[in-house]
Amino acid sequence: MPEQETMGARAGGGTSKAALAYAASLDADAVMAAEDIWGSEAHAIMLARQGIIDEGDLGEMLRCLRQARAALEAGELELRPELEDIHMNVERYVREGAGPEVAGRLHTARSRNDQVVTDSRLHLRARILDIQDSLADLQEALLDLAEAHAETVMPGYTHVQHAQPITVGFWASGHGSVFARDQKRLEAAFKTTNVCPLGSCALAGTSFPIDRQLTAELLGFDGVLQHALDAVGTRDFAAETLAALAILMSNVSKLAEELVLWTSYEFRALELADEFAFGSSIMPQKKNPCIAELARAKTAAVYGNLLNELVLIKGTPGGYNRDLQEDKPPLWRAAADVSATVGILAPVIRSLKINTDRLRELSGANFATATELANHLVRELHLPFRRSHHIVGTVVQQLIDEAKTFADLSRVQALLAAEGVEVAEEQLSDILDPERCVRRMTSLGGTAPEQVRTMIERLRTGVASSRERVCARRQQCAQARKRTADIVEGVLSGAKLGDVL
Ligand code: ARG
């Protein structure tokens, strides 16, 4: 195919091989091949419906595009680097199958500027839905764990120091609560992404009587991104999605950090299932939490991808700039890293062993019920909280000096008495017991099992509705795909376009 017939430079001298190789985007484009073919089918159908091309040409175009699709599905789509990008490679199938006249007409009222960003949006929206589904799996794994351990006490930490007893259910549902917001951010990113730029052409729209609504419908978009200059020049949907992914990964990374810390010998609170743990090539005793470590590390990469995108777009003047070609590698890399990370964490969480005895021991070991003792003095003896805080602090310091803990109830009682506070030993044992302490935390959103169970229920309802919305989105995309495919089949079996559209 003579390059001049596709997009030869104005000077007609032909762009050098080296320049073409440098500018090629096939690596990042290859994943959008199916979308590029679909977009071309929709565009061709619209052109014919509007009388811009005739139905004979439409049939030829659709026949060649069907061949390209078959090659893609067989893993045999030929992508020639000298043709720069996916658009020219797909067009080559039309050119070679139907000749330059027909192929040349396919590009009427279309530019690679609106084509590429249409493909990107089509591909990205599917990636967002995949991630939402994997995230729902992870949320469910956390909520199942939370339900199973609604009563299992563990130390709650602030500053990685024992703070107050909580339950494993409270901890796990806490991550579930965080991820509910990530789902919302992904939904918002999907909405921003799922609008159609096709028909914007190079930047200014076109003098042909195109129907942008029709192409948007055939491609399963929610609507048209109307302003042509905006539509070809913006990549804010990519930045918004990357921001949602980066924030999601920040939350994933915090969970991963806890897995690393709490599976250590010093904590011994959790144990990874063997299938998700790694050995050492030299140290036979090792059981390393490599997945959680890599989750933390991939978070760094996703932040990098977001920054890459933001810096990429900040200096581009209005309209399409070739810089924008470089938006796809960070986008696809981030989507792949997030999918893989969220995807593997669900079974990691499901197979976690919770060392309940160890957690019980830790939650009572280091004065974590001191706040509850101070609360008791406020409740029963009407002391101001600051005073009760001071008294309990003094008692704790004494116990530490004597190498004792709250387990030594008679000593605690004596020390309190020395501060002028009488508490019966039986009452002390009730106040200082981590399990009973947790059960008293019944304020809204507190760690008491009944509060945790209510929150789990609410979060489960949220996950179910996220799943429903994802499912409805998928159906919308699949129906549009089927509608286009049915029109293509209709035209190729000899029907008039008007009868199948
Ligand atoms: N490969 C290009 C990209 O990804 C396609 C659009 C090229 N447009 C142009 N005017 N050179 O952005």
**Would the pLDDT of 278 be above 70?**
yes
Q: How far is CA 411 from CA 360, 362, 372, in A?
A: 22, 20, 18
Per-residue pLDDT band at 14 (split at 50, 70, 90): confident
By alpha-carbon position, which residue is closest to atom 3 of ligand 1? 325
Helical spans, DSSP H, in 315-351: 328-350
Mutation pick for ligand 1 pocket among 3, 35, 113 (CB with most ligand atoms within 8 Å): 113
By alpha-carbon position, which residue is closest to atom 7 of ligand 1? 112
Per-residue pLDDT band at 5 (split at 50, 70, 90): low
Q: How far is CA 249 from CA 9, 262, 342, in A?
A: 43, 19, 9
**Atom number, ligand 1, closest to the C-alpha of residue 86:** 1
Could you report the per-residue pLDDT of 229-267, keeping only the tens digit for each? Answer: 999 999 999 999 999 999 999 999 999 999 999 999 999
Q: Is 121 helix (H, G, I), strand (E, B) or coil?
A: helix
Contacts of 205 (CB under 8 A, 6+ apart): 199, 228
Could you report the per-residue pLDDT of 76-131, keeping only the tens digit for each? Answer: 999 998 899 999 999 999 999 999 999 999 999 999 999 999 999 999 999 999 99
By alpha-carbon position, which residue is closest to atom 4 of ligand 1? 325
Mean pLDDT over 424-448 rounds to 96
Mutation pick for ligand 1 pocket among 15, 22, 85, 232 (CB with most ligand atoms within 8 Å): 85
Catalytic residues: 159, 280
Per-residue pLDDT band at 3 (split at 50, 70, 90): very low
By alpha-carbon position, which residue is closest to atom 2 of ligand 1? 325
Query: What local confidence, expressed as pLDDT, does residue 382 receive?
Result: 95
By alpha-carbon position, which residue is closest to atom 11 of ligand 1? 322
CA of 112 to the centre of ligand 1 (A): 6
Per-residue pLDDT band at 4 (split at 50, 70, 90): very low
Could you report the per-residue pLDDT of 453-475, keeping only the tens digit for each? Answer: 999 999 999 999 999 999 999 99
| H/E stretch holding 483 | helix 449-492
The domain made up of 121-144+162-360+456-476 has a fold known as: Fumarase C; Chain A, domain 2 (1.20.200)
Query: What local confidence, expressed as pLDDT, does residue 15 receive?
Result: 87
CA of 113 to the centre of ligand 1 (A): 6
What does the block give as tokens for 406?
A: 């709250």
Mean pLDDT over 384-402 rounds to 97
Sketch the domain layout of the chain as residue ranges.
3-108, 121-144+162-360+456-476, 370-432
Instruction: Specify whether the CB–CB gap between 93 and 171 falls below 8 A.
Output: no
469 residue type, one letter: R
The domain made up of 3-108 has a fold known as: Fumarase C; Chain B, domain 1 (1.10.275)
Mean pLDDT over 438-466 rounds to 98
Query: What local confidence, expressed as pLDDT, does residue 13 receive?
Result: 62
Mutation pick for ligand 1 pocket among 325, 326, 327 (CB with most ligand atoms within 8 Å): 325
**Would the pLDDT of 380 be above 70?**
yes
CA of 324 to the centre of ligand 1 (A): 8
315 residue type, one letter: G
Characterise 370 by phi-psi region: left (phi > 0), alpha (psi -120 to 50), beta (else). Answer: alpha
The neighbouring-strand residues paired with 195 are 223
CA of 325 to the centre of ligand 1 (A): 6
Give the number of other Cβ atoms within 10 Å of residue 208's Cβ: 15
Q: CA triplet 99, 104, 108: central angle to 5 degrees?
A: 150
**Would the pLDDT of 7 be above 90?**
no
> Maximum Cα–Cα distance for the chain, whole Å?
101
**Would the pLDDT of 452 be above 60?**
yes
**Would the pLDDT of 297 be above 80?**
yes
Mean pLDDT over 8-37 rounds to 87
Query: What local confidence, expressed as pLDDT, does residue 296 receive?
Result: 97
What does the block give as tokens for 470?
A: 């994802």
Query: What local confidence, expressed as pLDDT, does residue 1 receive?
Result: 45
CA of 209 to the centre of ligand 1 (A): 24
Residues in contact with ligand 1 by the CB-under-6-Å rule are 25, 85, 112-113, 116, 320, 322, 324-325
CA of 202 to the centre of ligand 1 (A): 10
Within this chain, domains 3-108 and 121-144+162-360+456-476 share the same CATH topology: no
Q: Count how many Cα atoms sit within 13 Å of the Cα of residue 273 in the half-sphere of its side chain.
A: 11
Query: What local confidence, expressed as pLDDT, does residue 11 receive?
Result: 53
By alpha-carbon position, which residue is closest to atom 12 of ligand 1? 325
